[in-house]
Structure formats: structure tokens, C-alpha cells
Amino acid sequence: MSQHNSQISSARRVRELELMVRVSRTLTSTLDLERLLKLITRTAAELVNSLDASIILQDPRTGELIFLAAAGPKSEELKNIRVPVEGSIAGTVFKTQKPLIVQDTNTDPRHYDVVDREIQFDTESILAVPMMYQNRAIGVLEAVNKLDHGRFSQHDIHILSTLAAQAAVAVENARLVTQLQELNARLAELDRLKSDFISIASHELRTPLGLILGYASFLHEETEGATSEQLDKVLQAATQLKELIEDMVNLSHLEAGQAELDLKELNLQEVIQESIATQQQFAATKSLEIRQSLPHTTVRVRADREKISIVLENLLNNAIKFTPPGGRIQVAVRPQTGMVAVSVTDTGIGIPTQELDRIFDRFYQVESHLTRHEGGMGLGLCIARGMIELHGGRIWAESVEGRGSRFTFTLPVLWKDAASKEA
């Protein structure tokens, strides 16, 4: 007889181990909370040989205990029923953080029989263990009605507690992932709202600004003397505003994936010289010299002229802005295999190493907007990167703080054309 018993118990132990291994594999690989809870309750009932098992978790917001899943036929009715922390077996286990066996619920005043009446179920015996996560109870795992009118044992406590410990980690992980996903979705929504705002605001500002610029230039031509000088200031301010709005429009097109390339064969040196010319006056106000180091042979690229000019002008404008008077700026073109690299180097204030990647993020500026002396919205480099990447090129920055910075971008080169034209 005892041999028979030990055979049964060793067969049962093997089954328990099998179940534990299976459940822990799934618990560590599933983040779907519903599925996890179902699996835990089903495994719990099977492990301790009970009619049903349920999970009662604390709602982190209200502190209430709520039935979230059960294995038996009443699982749907049980879902979302609340259990008081005071005056219930689950509440007692949750508070004391200790397992509890109630072999006969009829004689135990802690039994909260409202649930039985609500779902028309007859709870006879309960084994409840706390679900602990980082030394804190997050809920209770309950096995209900030991089958064959048996009694819950110390071994049942042990095995259900082991399952509850694993389940608590899996549940918390799944909750954290769900929270993260919700936060991510919210962030994406905020990002979209911001992009929409930029897009709408910039388009709405364009029309009235166009009118201001049009009338101001007309009046500027028609008037002389002091009024003309004042109109000059109006025109300058309006042009500056136009550039800021153009940045916003360009950014919103890039972000919406609406930026299109008008690809044409270009003489790169020519585009560079034109861009330098647009910045020459600004450089002169700071006594800055812009040097060029360009190859003698023509470098041809297939690119969008306007966009490459925007990139060059942004880089040159930054170099001038961030270089103290008397400094030097150099634009160099170096052909490489299949590519050409264009760099703008300055002897300016430089950029801290840890900021070198971040300066390409939209609205990012090394110095806080409130304390810095230079104007700008922190969009120039973000737009430059977007435009260069549209062309299949790359852009990056190197710098030594206090010594200067070098911005380099690459573009694919038209080797065949260049070769045939030069031949």
C-alpha cells in the first residue's frame, strides 16, 4: 500500500514539475495579460487538484481587490467583481502576506459569501496565497474546492506559492509593458499634434506674410528718405520671419514624407559658390572670411538644387553665427569613391562631444533658447539631415569645443557623366 502511495505521489510530482516547466516557459514569453491570467488559474487548479482557481489583483489606482480571471465555468461572471480588503479571505491573505487554508468556508466568518450568491456558486474550501512582487503583495491566487472532498495540504501551499511567485513577476511585466505601450501611443499622439500644429501654423502664416512683404517692397520702391529706411527695417524683419516659416514648412514636409526631390544634374561647385554669395554679407558683418577648397574638375551630382542650397546655406549660416569675429570658415569638396563629401569648417565656439548627435534633432540647441545670443529655432540641422538623407547621403558633425566645428555631408556622384564629359 505504501509502495502504491509513493508511486502515485512520484507520478504526481513528475506531473507537477511538467506543469511548472510548461507554465514558466509561457509566463516568461507572453506579455498578453488576459492569456497569462487564464493560464495561471488553469495551472493552479490542476496543480492542487481543485475545482477552480482565481486571481484577484489589487487595482493600483483604487487599492481595491478585483477578480480578474478564473479557470472554472463561472469565470466570465466572476470577472471584475470586487472583494473588500476587510472581511474576506483574499483580503486577509493580501494584508498579512501569508497563505491561508480554509477547509470549510461555512464556519469561517472571513468568507465573503456575497460573491457566491452573485454568481451562484458554492465555495466549500479555499487555499489562498499572496502574489508577491518586490516584497509587496500585488494580489492573491486562490484555489477553490479541493476535488474528491479532500483537504488542502502544506504541499499544496508550497506548490501554489511557487506558482504565485512566478505569476506575480509575469503579471507585473505584462502590466509594465502595457503601460509603456500606452505611454508610447500617447507620445506618438502628442508628436502628431505638434507636427500638425507646425504644419497648420506655418501654412496659415505664409499668406499674410506674403502680403506684408509684397506691399512693403512696393512702398519701399515708391518712397525715399527716412520712410524708406523704416520700410527697409520692416522688410528685413519680414524676410527673417519668412525664413523661419520656410523652415517650419520644410520640416513639416519632411516629417510627413511629402518632401519631393526635383532631381537635376548639377555642377556642385556652382551651387556652393551661389550659396556662399548669399551668406557673404552676413559674414562681412562679423569680419569673417569664407575660403573655398574646390577641385579643379567639375563635380556633377544628380540632386535637387533648391534643397542642396538650403543645406549649404544652413551650414554656412551656423558657421557664421557661432564663430567670433576675425575667424575663418572653409568650404571644401572632396570626391570619394562613388561619392562626394562637402564640408563646412569653422574656427568657432565648437560643440561639446555629447551634443554632436543631438544637434540634428528638431528644435535642439546646445545653449538654452533663453540664454543664447543667436537667433534660430533649432531646425536648420534637422532639415539639412532630412534633405541629405532624401538624396541617399549622410551628414555628421565633428568638433573640438573652443576650437571649431566641421559639418560634412556626402552625396552620390555621377561618375559616368563626369568621366564622359571630361574625356
Q: Contact between 345 and ligand ADP (CB under 6 A)?
A: no
CB of 352 to ligand ADP, least distance (A): 9
Contact 139, 55 (CB under 8 A): yes
Which residues 393-422 are close enough to bind ligand ADP by CB under 6 A?
405
Of 248, 276, 351, 414, the residue at the interface with ligand ADP (CB under 6 A) is 351
Q: What are phi and psi of 54, to 5 degrees?
A: -145, 160
For residues 316 and 344, is the Cβ–Cβ distance under 8 A? yes
Q: Which of 161, 377, 396, 417 binds ligand ADP (CB under 6 A)?
A: 377
Amino acid at 286: K
Residues 108-147 that bind ligand ADP (CB under 6 A): none
Output the smallest distance, CB 33 to ligand ADP, in A.
42
Q: Check if the beta carbon of residue 360 is closer than 8 Å to that of residue 381.
A: yes
Q: Which of residues 280-339 bind ligand ADP (CB under 6 A)?
A: 314, 318-319, 322
Distance CA 243, CA 73 (A): 68
Rounded to 5 degrees, φ, ψ at 209 are -65, -40
Burial annotation 247-266 (CB, 10 A radius, 16+ → b, else e): bbbbbbbbbeeebeeeeeeb
Gap between the Cα atoms of 56 and 78, Å rounded = 10
Q: Which stretch binds ligand ADP (CB under 6 A): 42-50, 126-134, 147-155, 365-373?
A: 365-373
Q: How far is CA 391 from CA 261, 294, 409, in A?
A: 8, 21, 11
- Residue 380 binds ligand ADP (CB under 6 A): yes
Q: Least CB distance from residue 372 to ligand ADP, whole Å?
A: 7
Looking at the Cβ atoms of 378 and 412, the one nearer to ligand ADP is 378
Residue type, 223: T
- Count residues near ligand ADP (CB under 6 A): 22
Q: Select the residue whose beta carbon is closest to ligand ADP and give its number.
A: 376
The single residue listed with the C-alpha cell 551668406 is: 279
Q: How far is the CB of 208 from ligand ADP (least distance, A)?
A: 23
Sign of CA dihedral 181, 182, 184, 188: positive
Of 99 and 348, nearer to ligand ADP (C-beta) is 348
Is 378 a binder of ligand ADP (CB under 6 A)? Answer: yes
124 vs 355 by CB, closer to ligand ADP = 355
Binding site for ligand ADP (CB under 6 A): 314, 318-319, 322, 346, 348-351, 359, 364-367, 376-382, 405
